[in-house]
């Protein structure tokens, strides 16, 4: 899909109507880009109804008595955004069946990795298993950035966070990140995809594809956090690109149970290029650790991409 300039402008303006200026996200944050791009691709004959879990998006966009949302929006706790919107979607379906509502709606959840792969996993699983007509958008910044950069289930192997700090006795998080895409795919939903806002055409293609399906849909979207990952706010796009060009964050979709890689770099860059673009892995570049640990990360990335290719 190749998005033309006038089409992109239309998407952006429509997205601004749904999520306007005045939010308090950090300079360089991709969250407004993610939210506006999703809302900007909702079909013109439908109205979005949004649920947001506690997290960076919520605390920066709903500071009482103000809000940046120009569409119906419900804020819930970390754990229950999916279940709350599932109730709204069922209420809508019941009223529509009785002829009480004629307007069309699209139901969309926005949640971070803490509210998705950890605290909100049970509600997400229930929503997927029951088959609610909801698009769930995970913005993944690999930690609990909202509360101080603690590790989450989505924090990658060997990353240093405030609760898995690198030091004399630790080399960062000892566990691999939770494979949320495989967990979601196991629910046999119509569509799931992994995306990156730095590859905007691919992101828009996946939003449109997801919204074309009835039933549960899931998008896992990379959200580099310049505050928590400690890189300049002007470098968000560059960090995001390196994540995909090194196969650390591959772009793929699962449609009807079938996997498809949407972008395969002609020559993948060494994962070291991504690791050194921010500070989650600064400890790996200490002379006494560098060779061994970076090689371990490269080995894991190569293995995971090979498994993805086989799928």
Output the six-digit token pair for 87.
């109730």
Number of alpha carbons in the 13 Å side-chain half-sphere of residue 101: 14
- The dihedral over CA atoms of 32, 75, 99, 213, expressed in degrees to the nearest 10, equals 50
Judge whether 281 and 159 are in contact, CB under 8 Å.
yes
- DSSP states along the chain: ----HHHHHHHHHHHHHHB-S---PPTT-SHHHHHHHHHHTS-TTEEEEEEEESSHHHHHH--TT---B-SEEEEE-TT-HHHHHHHHHHHHHHHHHTT---SEEEEEEEEESIIIIITTHHHHHHHHHHT-SEEEEEEE-SSBGGGT-B--TTSPTT---SSS--SSS--S--SPPP-HHHHHHTT--SEEEEE-TTSHHHHHHHHHHHHTSSS-EEEEEE---HHHHT--GGGHHHHHHHHHHTTSS-EEEEETTEEEEEE--SSPPPHHHHHTTSSTTGGGGSTTTHHHHHHHHHHHHHHHHHHHHH-
**Residue 251 φ then ψ, to 5°:** -100, 120
pLDDT of residue 3: 79
Burial of 288 by CB count in 10 Å (0-12 exposed, 13-18 middle, 19+ buried)?
exposed
Q: What string of pLDDT tens digits covers the 311 residues of the chain?
A: 677 788 889 998 999 999 998 899 999 999 999 999 999 999 999 999 999 999 999 999 998 888 999 999 999 899 999 999 999 999 999 999 999 999 999 999 999 999 999 999 999 999 999 999 999 999 999 999 989 999 999 999 999 999 999 988 889 999 999 999 999 999 999 999 999 999 999 999 999 999 999 999 999 999 999 999 999 999 999 999 999 999 999 999 999 999 999 999 999 999 999 999 999 999 999 876 556 899 999 999 999 999 999 99
pLDDT tens, position by position, 141-165 = 999 998 999 999 999 999 999 999 9
Write down the residue that tokens 């500071």 correspond to. 63
According to CATH, the superfamily of the domain at 5-310 is: Thiamin diphosphate (ThDP)-binding fold, Pyr/PP domains (3.40.50.970)
Judge whether 180 and 117 are in contact, CB under 8 Å.
yes
Write down the residue that tokens 């650390």 correspond to. 248
What distance in Å separates the CA atoms of residue 118 and residue 120, rounded to the nearest whole number? Answer: 6
**Residue 308 φ then ψ, to 5°:** -60, -45
């Amino acid at each position: 899909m190749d998005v033309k300039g006038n089409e992109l402008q239309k998407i952006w303006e429509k997205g601004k109507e749904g999520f306007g200026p005045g939010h308090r996200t950090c300079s360089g944050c991709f969250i407004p880009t993610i939210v506006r791009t999703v809302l900007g691709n909702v079909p013109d004959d439908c109205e979005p109804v949004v649920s947001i879990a506690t997290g960076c998006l919520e605390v920066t966009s709903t500071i009482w008595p103000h809000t940046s949302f120009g569409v119906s929006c419900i804020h819930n706790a970390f754990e229950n955004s999916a279940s709350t919107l599932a109730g709204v979607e069922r209420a809508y379906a019941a009223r529509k069946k009785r002829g009480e509502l004629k307007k069309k709606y699209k139901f969309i959840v926005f949640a971070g990795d803490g509210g998705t792969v950890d605290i909100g996993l049970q509600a997400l699983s229930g929503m997927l298993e029951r088959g609610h007509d909801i698009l769930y958008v995970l913005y993944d910044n690999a930690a609990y950035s909202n509360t101080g950069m603690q590790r989450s289930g989505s924090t990658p192997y060997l990353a240093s966070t405030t609760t898995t700090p690198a030091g004399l006795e630790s080399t960062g998080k000892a566990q691999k990140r939770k494979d949320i895409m495989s967990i979601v795919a196991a629910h046999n939903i119509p569509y799931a995809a992994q995306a990156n806002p730095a590859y905007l055409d691919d992101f828009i293609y996946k939003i449109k594809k997801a919204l074309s399906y009835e039933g549960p849909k899931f998008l896992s979207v990379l959200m580099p956090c310049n505050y928590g990952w400690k890189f300049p706010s002007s470098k968000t796009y560059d960090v995001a690109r390196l994540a995909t060009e090194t196969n650390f964050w591959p772009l793929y979709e699962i449609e009807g149970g079938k996997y498809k890689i949407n972008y395969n770099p002609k020559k993948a860059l060494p994962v070291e290029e991504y690791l050194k673009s921010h500070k989650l892995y600064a400890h790996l570049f200490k002379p006494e650790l560098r060779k061994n640990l970076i090689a371990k990360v490269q080995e894991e990335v190569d293995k995971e991409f090979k498994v993805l290719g086989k799928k």
